[in-house]
Structure 1
């Protein structure tokens, strides 16, 4: 692939701007400065630098973010910050999008990608990718409420029964459960349906990808490797 095309695909700007970066000697490939526009490189395991910062060529990017409260999963926000403000321009130029959404007051794991097929497969309601949440509740969680959540509840203006799996109390007011759909405000609405209320909500896993294994501080992000991407796709067999 042409040097300028590599820079373009990795989000570093227009063809003209990438050509200028190369001609001015700001780019190196595999440790050597490249100033010739027509130079070709294999993208397999390719490493390059721009202004001295090192990058690895990635055909598609898969990113995990540990979102804090006060950030919206949208480019156009009104009252809060956008999660996209946490990322460098070269990733925004690649058109990364959130894989699903978290409310501004919900914290925890969210994925972003520029892979349209992965985005569609992960968010399609029929795919049933499990997502696990930990929440603080206003009232103590009763055994009856756990049973109701496990058996399933009806949600206003939604079709079907919405059930959680592996519902567990860590303390009387801290609950964990896994959901397999993804309708609007589902966790909060399910708790309301059994007579309780969510005070704080954190997503702690997607598929088999665990937030605690990623070692991310709030609003910190990292690229996922191939095994982690596959873990995030892991869905129910039922």
Structure 2
């Protein structure tokens, strides 16, 4: 069944202005549908069939957008904030009219993979506690992380509020001796968790007497952070990535 939309709604969603601005464009004869000038901005059109132009520019309608962002430190995972820059402030103006939002959140001082979209259904599926979408983090931890910690995480650890976490997979990548006498050792690890409690990774390490000093999310479900994306940069998901993400959210 073909999708039908009001012309002014379609053009507003495609970034051609507000409803009132689009009315003026129509009045000036700047909007054409199937090469015929339009007189009514409320005209019902079929974006997948009709050829629509504004001042000669072809309209490419997209209902949903999906962006992979490598979130930098110092930016908050929100659509607006009175004090700090948000992840939306990192985007070009071309995306402003899509009303994107972050799927989940990363702490202000945490870097890495963050999905931005306006697809509420997909976001809900990925964030639903029943889905248990795995998320993997790379971290630098102050302290000597050992196999006993991996075993504890595998069984779930009790956080400071009494909550016991679900089983998590801890991989110890490297443990470095103190650089100087009296200074703490450092460990580099990867941790995969199946839930997203507040400050969860940091609090899990606190539970075993250690402190996270650097944290970066590298995967979310089937989605892996593009290694070519510098902090603060983003790109649209490929069709293959989106297909895998949808399949994961629906499973």
The TM-score bracket by the shorter chain reads: 0.7 to 0.9
Change (3 A) 1:210 1:49: farther
Structure 1 counterpart SS, 2:213: strand
From the superposition, tell whether residues 187 and 4 of structure 1 become closer, same or farther in structure 2 (CA, over 3 Å).
same
What aligned pairs does 1:147-162 form with structure 2 within 5 A after superposition?
Answer: 147-157=151-161, 159-162=163-166
TM-score (norm: length of structure 2): 0.78
2:211 pairs with 1:208: no
The unaligned stretches of length 5 or more in structure 1 are none
Partner of 2:171: 168
Q: Alpha carbons of 1:86 and 1:137: their partners in 2 closer, same or farther (altered >3 Å)?
A: same
TM-score between both structures, scaled by the size of structure 1: 0.81
Report the alpha carbon displacement of residue 208 of structure 1 after superposing the two structures with TM: 1.0
Matched residue, 1:81: 85
Tell me, in whole angstroms, the C-alpha distance in 2 between the residues paired with 1:140 and 1:51: 64
Residue aligned with 1:156, SS? coil
Give the match's secondary structure for 1:177: strand
Q: Does 1:221 align with 2:225?
A: no
1:10 is matched with: 14
Per-residue CA deviation, residues 7-54 of structure 1 (Å, 9 max, x unaligned), is 122344321213445666877899x8x864558764239898879998
Q: Indicate the SS of the match to 2:115.
A: strand
Residue 8 to residue 199, structure 1, CA distance change in 2 (3 Å) = same
Post-superposition offset of 1:187: 0.7
Relative to 1, partners in 2 of residues 1:19 and 1:44: Cα closer, same or farther, differing over 3 Å? same
Displacement of 1:99: 0.5
CA radius of gyration, larger in: 2
Across the aligned residues of Structure 1 and Structure 2, the Cα RMSD in angstroms comes to: 3.2
Alignment partner of 1:190 is 2:238: no
Residues 195 and 236 (structure 1), Cα distance of their counterparts in 2 relative to 1, 3 Å cut: farther
Measured at CA, do residues 84 and 200 of structure 1 come closer, stay the same or move farther in structure 2, by a change above 3 Å?
A: same
Cα deviation, residue 69, structure 1: 0.4
Q: Who is 1:66 aligned against?
A: 70
2:130 counterpart of 1:98: no
Unpaired runs of 5+ residues, structure 2, are: 176-186
- Deviation (angstroms), 1:5: 3.2
